[in-house]
Amino acid sequence: MAYRDEKLSEEKVFKDPVHRYIHVRDRVIWDLIGTKEFQRLRRIRQLGTTFFTFHGAEHSRFNHSLGVYEIVRRIVDDVFRDRPEWNQDERLLSLCAALLHDLGHGPFSHSFEKVFHLDHEEFTQAIILGNTEINRVLSKVSPDFPKKVTEVIAKTYANKQVISLISSQIDADRMDYLQRDAFYTGVSYGHFDMERILRVMRPREDQVVMKHSGMHAVEDYIMSRYQMYWQVYFHPVTRSAEVILTKILHRAKALYERNYEFKFKPIHFYSIFSGEVTLEDYLQLDESVIMFYFQTWQNEDDPILSDLCKRFMNRNLFKYVEFNPSNEQMMKLMELTTLFKKAGLDPEYYLVVDSSSDLPYDFYRPGEEEERLPIHLLMPNGEIRELSRESDIVDAVSGKRRTDHKLYYPQDFLFDWSTKRNTKKKIIELLQLDR
């Protein structure tokens, strides 16, 4: 029997708190899970620094990747299987792309990508196509199979049905992370009737559409995504930890560039600092390695690196005030920058504006930087209609980007440090930005 069709002699199941069970019958999937590149995802948290805010949020990208696989498996094995519009030959490709879609994520990806100008999607491609265990498994299916998997993940694959299962505005990725993140953070948002949504999904020529009768479940999903973004993903305390993390990485890089003598040499970072990270080096990085450095850097002689690492390890985070980048507040920010310098605090590291923004749902706007595939409803008469034209609730949030800016600073320094009382007083006054 061809490797692509090989089944395990007995089905393997993973116990999962969100989907109850994750079922694996295909040899290829089982082999992929066993590779070291996939196992590495156990050591990378799904939600980065969110555990500082919601202590349950320690789940990994490994959990999430299995979850996305399971959702796609249910769609292709239970919902689509006998539908003439669906080509069952795409089954294994869909499953592999679902399982591997986040493979290239690094430790605390968001901050890492920002500081070192990396792109996890490029690493996903590099792992799938490079000299890796993953590549060896996929190549056994067929020589061009690894390439096909990267095309699905990069959204360039010819069959758009396969792409929309994994990346669209209602895809297996989003459906898994919303429920999983809600479960592990313990919040009451993020829940919606996924079983119902899966049941009303239909393959059409170049996309996956939803039967009109499932519209309310889809509305619920969009609202839950909206809530999760503002209540969990953009939580200001999580962002404070992320600001500190980002500044630690900046500081370590700056010190490295000026030949600072680290007591504990950052050998894992050398290639990333010099902008020439190899795949091999990248795969060595995970969150346990990063935390180990932060732990030891608490004892470095550089006061900024040491202070920031202590803050991260002991959760002594920055406080924040609302900020809007109007002329008036920008002037205040400039004044604050001068005062921070006067007080001996480097504003580069201790006075930080952070912005978050999200679009809950969008209809199709051709030519925009990121063209979003809209959600389409299949009407009882066979017609296809874009969701926001049918749903008042979705129409209300459609295309509306909300942005939130906050100014972060170390409040404890304002009370502890031994600087001139006048400077301190002025800083505290100025931080009341809206007065």
Short-list 319, 365, 340, 348, CA closest to 417 = 340
Give the separation between CA 202 and CA 187, rounded to whole angstroms: 31
Give the separation between CA 207 and CA 17, rounded to whole angstroms: 30
Q: State which residue, 174 or 250, has the beta carbon closest to Zn ion.
A: 174
CA torsion sign for 226, 365, 386, 92 is negative
Give the separation between CA 112 and CA 102, rounded to whole angstroms: 15
Q: State which residue, 173 or 362, has the beta carbon closest to Zn ion.
A: 173
Give the separation between CA 105 and CA 113, rounded to whole angstroms: 9
Give buried/exposed letters for 129-143 (b at 16+ CB in 10 A, else e).
bbebbbbebbebbee
How far apart are CB 201 and Zn ion at their closest, in Å?
18
HSE-CB for 226 with a 13 A CA cutoff: 19
How far apart are CB 165 and Zn ion at their closest, in Å?
13
Q: Using CB under 5 A, count the residues that bind Zn ion.
A: 2
150, 127 in Cβ contact below 8 A? no
**Residue 302 engages Zn ion in binding (rule: CB under 5 A):** no
Strands 207-211 and 376-378: parallel
How far apart are CB 430 and Zn ion at their closest, in Å?
41
Question: CB under 5 A: which stretch of 80-88, 94-102, 150-158, 266-274 binds Zn ion?
Answer: 94-102
Q: State which residue, 31 or 173, has the beta carbon closest to Zn ion.
A: 173
Give the separation between CA 271 and CA 294, rounded to whole angstroms: 18
How far apart are CB 27 and Zn ion at their closest, in Å?
24
Question: CB under 5 A: which stretch of 96-104, 213-221, 336-344, 374-382 binds Zn ion?
Answer: 96-104
Q: State which residue, 172 or 352, has the beta carbon closest to Zn ion.
A: 172
End-to-end CA distance of the chain: 74
Short-list 177, 192, 171, CA closest to 75 = 171
How far apart are CB 101 and Zn ion at their closest, in Å?
6
Q: State which residue, 181 or 362, has the beta carbon closest to Zn ion.
A: 181
Question: CB under 5 A: which stretch of 98-106, 346-354, 408-416, 417-425 binds Zn ion?
Answer: 98-106
Give the separation between CA 407 and CA 147, rounded to whole angstroms: 44
Q: Which of 31, 37, 90, 102 lies at the binding interface for Zn ion (CB under 5 A)? A: 102
Q: State which residue, 178 or 308, has the beta carbon closest to Zn ion.
A: 178
How far apart are CB 62 and Zn ion at their closest, in Å?
11
Question: CB under 5 A: which stretch of 69-77, 167-175, 289-297, 372-380 binds Zn ion?
Answer: 167-175
How far apart are CB 98 and Zn ion at their closest, in Å?
9
How far apart are CB 105 and Zn ion at their closest, in Å?
8
Q: Helix, strand, or coil here: 361?
A: strand
Q: Which of 173, 302, 307, 362 lies at the binding interface for Zn ion (CB under 5 A)? A: 173
Give the separation between CA 394 and CA 413, rounded to whole angstroms: 45
Q: State which residue, 167 or 246, has the beta carbon closest to Zn ion.
A: 167
Q: State which residue, 43 or 341, has the beta carbon closest to Zn ion.
A: 43
Q: State which residue, 38 or 409, has the beta carbon closest to Zn ion.
A: 38
How far apart are CB 285 and Zn ion at their closest, in Å?
19
Give buried/exposed letters for 326-342 (b at 16+ CB in 10 A, else e).
eeebeebbeebeebbee
**Site of interaction with Zn ion (CB under 5 A):** 102, 173
